[in-house]
Structure 1
Amino acid sequence: MTTMTRHARGRGEAFADAFANRVTAANANASPLREHFDELFVTPDAVDELDRVVLQLAVQGKLVAQDAKDETAQILYSRIQADKAYNENHNQLATLPKVSDDEIPFVLPSSWIWARLGDVTNYGTSTRSKNLQFTEDTWVLDLEDIEKESSRLLRKVRLKERHFQSEKNVFSKGDVVYGKLRPYLDKVIVADEDGICSSELVPIRGYGELDSHYLRLTLKRPDFIKYVNQKTYGVKMPRLGTKDARLALIPLPPLVEQHRIVARVEQLFAQTRALREKLVHAQTELERLNKAALAHLLNAETLEEFAERWSFIAENFDTLYVEPAHIAPLRQAILELAVRGKLTRREPEDEPASQLLERIRQEKNKLAQEEKNKSDALPPIQDDEKPFELPAGWEWVRFGEITINRDGERIPLSKEQRETRQGEYDYYGASGVIDKIDDFLFDTPLLLIGEDGANLVNRSTPIAFIADGKYWVNNHAHVLGAIEFDLLRYLEVYINAIDLKPYVTGTAQPKMNQAKMNSIVIALPPLTEHHRIVARVEQLMKLCDALEGKLASAQGERERLTAALLAGIG
Structure 2
Amino acid sequence: MTQHIHEGAARYQPGHHGNNSPAPSATQALANPQQLLTEHIDLWTSAVRHKSTAGRGSNRKIELAGINKLRELILELAVRGKLVPQNPDDEPASELLKRIEAEKAQLVKDGKLKKQKPLPAVTDEEKPFELPEGWEWVRLGTFFNSIISGGTPSKRNADYWNGDIPWASVKDLGKSKYIHATQDYITADALESGSKLVDKGDILICTRMGLGKIGVAQVPIAINQDLKGVKLSSQIELEYFLNTYSRIKIEGTGTTVAGITQDQLLGYVVALPPLTEQQRIVAKVDELMALCDQLEQQSEHQLDAHQQLTDTLLSALLTPAAGALTDATSAQELSDNWQRLAQHFDLLFSGPMGAWAIDRLKDTILQLAVMGKLVPQNPDDEPASELLKRIDAEKARLVKEGKIKKQKPLPPVNDDEKPFELPQGWVWSCISAIFHLENGDRSKNYPNKAALVEKGIPFVNAGQLENGGVSTEDLSFISEEHFSRLSGGKFLDGDILFCLRGSLGKNALVKNFGIGAIASSLVILKTAMNGLQNFAMVYLNSNLANIQIKTYDNGTAQPNLSAADLGKFLVPLPPLAEQQRIVAKVDELFALCDQLKERLQHASDTQLNLTDAIVEQALS
Task: Please give the TM-score of this superposition, normalised by the length of structure 1.
Answer: 0.79
| Partner of residue 52, structure 2 | none
| Partner of residue 85, structure 2 | 65
* Greater CA drift, 523-532 or 93-102: 93-102
SS at 2:515 equivalent: strand
Q: Is residue 178–residue 204 contact of structure 1 (8 Å, CA) maintained in 2?
A: yes
| Partner of residue 4, structure 1 | none
Closer, same or farther: CA 310–247 of 1 in aligned 2, 3 Å: farther
Q: Which one-letter code corresponds to 2:79 in the other structure? A: V
SS at 2:518 equivalent: coil
Task: Please give the TM-score of this superposition, normalised by the length of structure 2.
Answer: 0.73
Which residues in structure 2 correspond to 1:276-287 (within 5 Å)?
276-287=296-307
Q: How far, CA to CA, are the matches of 2:28 and 2:421 in structure 1?
A: 61
Offset from partner CA, 1:339-378 (integer Å, 9 cap, x none): 1112122222122211111111111111111112223213
Closer, same or farther: CA 253–297 of 1 in aligned 2, 3 Å: same
Residue 126 of structure 2 corresponds to residue 103 of structure 1: yes
Residue 399 of structure 2 corresponds to residue 368 of structure 1: yes
**For 1:533, which of 534, 558, 582 is the aligned residue?**
582
Deviation at 1:182?
4.6
Q: Which one-letter code corresponds to 1:204 in the other structure? A: V
Residue 497 of structure 2 corresponds to residue 449 of structure 1: yes
Which residues in structure 2 correspond to 1:123-522 (within 5 Å)?
123-125=146-148, 148=174, 151-153=176-178, 156=180, 165=188, 166-167=190-191, 169-173=197-201, 175-180=202-207, 182-184=209-211, 186-189=213-216, 195-196=220-221, 198-199=223-224, 202-207=228-233, 209-221=235-247, 224=248, 226-227=249-250, 230-231=251-252, 235=256, 240-299=260-319, 300-301=325-326, 302=328, 304-321=332-349, 322-323=352-353, 324-383=355-414, 384-405=416-437, 419-421=454-456, 429-430=461-462, 431=465, 432-435=470-473, 445-456=493-504, 463-469=506-512, 471-476=514-519, 477-497=522-542, 498-499=545-546, 500-504=549-553, 510=559, 512-522=561-571
SS at 2:145 equivalent: coil
Looking at both structures, which has the greater relative contact order when contacts are Cα pairs under 8 Å and sequence separation is at least 6? Answer: 2
Q: How far, CA to CA, are the matches of 2:494 and 2:451 in structure 1?
A: 27
Query: Which 4+ runs in 1 deviate beyond 6 A?
Result: 20-23, 27-33, 143-147, 406-416, 436-444
SS at 2:425 equivalent: coil
Closer, same or farther: CA 271–443 of 1 in aligned 2, 3 Å: closer
Q: Is residue 80–residue 131 contact of structure 2 (8 Å, CA) maintained in 1?
A: yes
Offset from partner CA, 1:280-313 (integer Å, 9 cap, x none): 2222222221221221122222254554444444
Deviation at 1:492?
1.1
| Partner of residue 13, structure 1 | none
Q: How far, CA to CA, are the matches of 1:77 and 1:101 in structure 2?
A: 19
Q: How far, CA to CA, are the matches of 2:211 and 2:494 in structure 1?
A: 47
Q: How far, CA to CA, are the matches of 2:108 and 2:84 in structure 1?
A: 34
Deviation at 1:278?
1.4
Q: Which one-letter code corresponds to 1:392 in the other structure? A: Q
| Partner of residue 133, structure 1 | none
Q: Which one-letter code corresponds to 1:526 in the other structure? A: P
* Greater CA drift, 248-257 or 86-95: 86-95
Offset from partner CA, 1:186-244 (integer Å, 9 cap, x none): 4434x6x66445446655333352222211211122xx1x22xx1366846x6654332
Q: Is residue 172–residue 195 contact of structure 1 (8 Å, CA) maintained in 2?
A: yes
Q: How far, CA to CA, are the matches of 1:370 and 1:64 in structure 2?
A: 85
Q: Is residue 44–residue 67 contact of structure 2 (8 Å, CA) maintained in 1?
A: no
SS at 1:455 equivalent: coil
Offset from partner CA, 1:306-333 (integer Å, 9 cap, x none): 5444444444244324242343222122
Q: Which one-letter code corresponds to 1:261 in the other structure? A: I
Q: How far, CA to CA, are the matches of 1:337 and 1:181 in structure 2?
A: 52
Q: Is residue 443–residue 468 contact of structure 1 (8 Å, CA) maintained in 2?
A: no
Deviation at 1:120?
2.5
Q: How far, CA to CA, are the matches of 2:573 and 2:511 in structure 1?
A: 23
Structure 1 alignment gaps of length 5 or more: 1-8, 10-16, 131-137, 458-462
Q: How far, CA to CA, are the matches of 1:28 and 1:298 in structure 2?
A: 52
* Greater CA drift, 350-359 or 445-454: 445-454
Q: How far, CA to CA, are the matches of 1:195 and 1:413 in structure 2?
A: 50
Q: How far, CA to CA, are the matches of 2:566 and 2:296 in structure 1?
A: 45
Q: How far, CA to CA, are the matches of 1:145 and 1:279 in structure 2?
A: 30
Offset from partner CA, 1:96-117 (integer Å, 9 cap, x none): 2222233333332242111112
Offset from partner CA, 1:475-499 (integer Å, 9 cap, x none): 1354444354432111111111111
Closer, same or farther: CA 313–427 of 1 in aligned 2, 3 Å: farther
Q: Which one-letter code corresponds to 1:434 in the other structure? A: T
SS at 1:566 equivalent: helix
Structure 2 alignment gaps of length 5 or more: 1-17, 49-63, 154-163, 320-324, 485-489
Q: How many residues align?
A: 525
Q: Is residue 140–residue 195 contact of structure 1 (8 Å, CA) maintained in 2?
A: yes
* Greater CA drift, 261-270 or 37-46: 37-46
Q: How far, CA to CA, are the matches of 2:230 and 2:274 in structure 1?
A: 20
Closer, same or farther: CA 313–363 of 1 in aligned 2, 3 Å: same
Q: Is residue 396–residue 524 contact of structure 1 (8 Å, CA) maintained in 2?
A: yes
Q: Which one-letter code corresponds to 1:343 in the other structure? A: L
Q: Is residue 126–residue 170 contact of structure 1 (8 Å, CA) maintained in 2?
A: no
Q: Which one-letter code corresponds to 1:266 in the other structure? A: D
Closer, same or farther: CA 318–177 of 1 in aligned 2, 3 Å: farther
Deviation at 1:247?
1.8
Q: Which one-letter code corresponds to 2:509 in the other structure? A: I
Q: Tell me the percent identity.
A: 30
SS at 1:551 equivalent: helix
